[in-house]
């Protein structure tokens, strides 16, 4: 097809033109539906009273729906799903680092909040701690 | 997934074959996008960390509830939904442009690239409106006992917890919210918007090259494909920016 001047690349993308167009239409509808569901859940959390834990569950669902969108955009629109398996792996395996990345840093942030809140409730004035402590004016709880 | 190329007899590493059987530029674009994914990921995760570390964080449905030409109507998620669909549609038109390139259909490439550029400019216009609306908006908050009008900027945040009712004749008055909100919102959407802008510029260059017949002469439309990868990445990042700032 288009690889007229490079014999080192023998890979040809979607041979059937119209089957591909159908795939694009299906994927577009899927992405739109997923987006509408996400927006629906978001609006529902705004409009209806809900327990905090249920809201957290819905937020988890929305995150997973977004990951599904990412899967379809990368796999079909960007054609990564058509590439050699090893290429797919060089892209997807490092991204697994995000699992640790997100969990570790959100837990860190949460811990800072808890530490700040518990420190605010104690009576120990900052000046009396070790000399390396920050000046008292920086500590406002 | 891949087709006949994965037959056992193919010796991929004995010379004469491009690694992973793809063009060098496409492979490098993928790896650039990986690095950019980690950059955006780092920004978004640091936003999450700071947000989790705060006792109070503005409710996005209160901050982002405006729509152009709708005055003071309370429409949470409406404008950002429009922006999301604009970007999704421009991604689809980009897919169609790349597909036209595979078929060496010059007119098809030109048509779909024009639509993609229009989509990108529409998104940027929407983002500009959103920024202007936030920065110039005036919200009365109680600062040091005085009622002051402030907008949302990188140094000011009017979206804070309500003040004690007793402090202002029983009216519901807010106090300033965490300042990090503006820095993160404008910083991350700005960084994304910068990518959209550079993507629009690249797409315009691709369009001009297609019109001039550069790809026709080369015999392939590979550059359109690479520009397409960048554009889809921009759409993908928006999915997560929209998720983190507006939905969760």
Q: Are A73 and A7 found together in one domain?
A: yes
Q: Are A46 and A103 found together in one domain?
A: no
Q: Are A1 and A48 found together in one domain?
A: yes
Asked, for residue A100, whether it belongs to a domain, the answer is yes
CA count, 13 A, side-chain hemisphere, B94: 35
- pLDDT tens profile B73-132: 889 899 999 999 999 999 999 999 999 999 999 999 999 999 999 999 999 999 999 999
Q: Are A40 and A22 found together in one domain?
A: yes
- Residue A1 is predicted with a pLDDT of 41
Q: Are A57 and A109 found together in one domain?
A: no
Q: Are A63 and A102 found together in one domain?
A: no
Of A7, A8, A42, Cβ closest to residue B247: A42
Asked, for residue A62, whether it belongs to a domain, the answer is yes
Best B15, B20, B116 member to test A by mutation, with max A CBs in 10 Å, is: B20
Asked, for residue A9, whether it belongs to a domain, the answer is yes
- Residue B162 is predicted with a pLDDT of 83
Q: Are A114 and A68 found together in one domain?
A: no
Q: Which domain holds residue A96?
A: 84-119
**For the whole model, what pTM was predicted?**
0.86
What domain count does chain A have? 2
pLDDT per residue as tens, chain A (141 positions): 444 556 777 766 665 578 889 999 999 999 999 999 999 999 999 999 999 899 999 999 999 999 999 999 999 999 999 888 999 999 999 999 999 999 999 999 999 999 988 887 655 555 544 555 445 444 444
- Residue A3 is predicted with a pLDDT of 46
Which residues on A lie below 8 Å from B99 (Cβ)? 14, 17, 20-21, 24
**Chain A residue closest in CA terms to B85:** A32
- At residue B142 the predicted structure's pLDDT band, cuts being 50, 70 and 90, is confident
Helices (H), chain A: 17-47, 52-72, 85-95, 97-121
Q: Are A6 and A54 found together in one domain?
A: yes
How many CB pairs below 8 Å do chains A and B form together? 161
Q: Are A5 and A67 found together in one domain?
A: yes
Asked, for residue A127, whether it belongs to a domain, the answer is no
What residue ranges define each of the domains in chain B, with the CATH number in brackets? 21-55+62-247 (1.20.120.80)
Q: Are A74 and A114 found together in one domain?
A: no
- Residue B17 is predicted with a pLDDT of 85
Q: Are A31 and A47 found together in one domain?
A: yes
**Chain B residue closest in CA terms to A93:** B34
DSSP string for B47-95: HHHHHHH-S----HHHHS---TTSTT---TTHHHHHHHHHHHHHHHHHH
Of A6, A11, A109, Cβ closest to residue B52: A109
Which residues on A lie below 8 Å from B233 (Cβ)? 78
- At residue B44 the predicted structure's pLDDT band, cuts being 50, 70 and 90, is very high
Asked, for residue A132, whether it belongs to a domain, the answer is no
- Residue A10 is predicted with a pLDDT of 77
Q: Are A90 and A70 found together in one domain?
A: no
% of chain B surpassing 90 pLDDT: 69
B104 and chain A in contact, CB less than 8 A = yes
Alpha-carbon Rg for chain A, nearest whole angstrom, is 25
Distances (CA, A) of B244 to B104, B161, B208: 40, 21, 36
Whether B225 shows a pLDDT value over 90: the answer reads yes
Lowest mean pLDDT among B37-51, B74-88, B98-112, B167-181: B167-181
Asked, for residue A139, whether it belongs to a domain, the answer is no
Asked, for residue A97, whether it belongs to a domain, the answer is yes
Tell me the average pLDDT across B44-52: 95
């Amino acid at each position: 097809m288009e690889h007229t001047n490079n014999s080192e690349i023998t890979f040809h993308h979607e041979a059937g033109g119209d089957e591909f167009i159908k795939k694009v239409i299906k994927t577009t509808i899927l992405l739109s539906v997923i987006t509408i569901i996400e927006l629906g859940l978001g609006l529902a959390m705004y409009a209806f009273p809900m327990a905090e834990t249920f809201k957290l569950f819905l937020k988890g669902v929305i995150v997973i729906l977004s990951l599904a969108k990412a899967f379809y955009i990368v796999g079909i629109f960007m054609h990564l799903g058509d590439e050699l398996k090893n290429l797919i792996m060089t892209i997807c395996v490092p991204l697994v680092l995000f699992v640790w990345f997100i969990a570790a840093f959100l837990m860190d942030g949460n811990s800072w909040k808890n530490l700040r809140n518990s420190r605010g409730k104690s009576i120990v004035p900052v000046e009396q701690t070790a000399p390396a402590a920050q000046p008292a004016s920086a500590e406002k709880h | 997934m891949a087709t006949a190329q994965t037959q056992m007899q193919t010796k991929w590493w004995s010379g004469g074959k491009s690694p992973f059987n793809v063009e060098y530029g496409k492979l490098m674009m993928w790896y650039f996008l990986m690095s950019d994914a980690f950059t955006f990921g780092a920004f978004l995760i640091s936003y999450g960390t700071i947000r989790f570390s705060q006792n109070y964080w503005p409710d996005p449905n209160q901050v982002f509830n405006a729509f152009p030409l709708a005055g003071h109507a309370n429409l949470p998620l409406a404008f950002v939904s429009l922006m999301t669909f604009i970007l999704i549609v421009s991604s689809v038109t980009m897919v169609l442009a790349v597909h036209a390139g595979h078929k060496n259909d010059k007119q098809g490439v030109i048509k779909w690239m024009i639509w993609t550029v229009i989509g990108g400019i529409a998104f940027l216009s929407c983002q500009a409106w959103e920024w202007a609306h936030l920065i110039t908006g005036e919200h009365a908050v109680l600062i040091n006992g005085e009622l002051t009008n402030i907008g949302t900027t990188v140094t000011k945040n009017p979206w804070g917890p309500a003040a004690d009712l007793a402090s202002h004749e029983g009216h519901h008055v807010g106090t300033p919210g965490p300042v990090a909100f503006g820095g993160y919102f404008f910083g991350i959407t700005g960084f994304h918007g910068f990518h959209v802008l550079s993507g629009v510029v690249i797409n315009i260059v691709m369009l001009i090259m297609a019109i001039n017949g550069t790809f026709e002469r080369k015999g392939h439309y590979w550059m359109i494909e690479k520009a397409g990868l960048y554009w889809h990445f921009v759409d993908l990042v928006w999915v997560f920016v929209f998720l983190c700032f507006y939905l969760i």
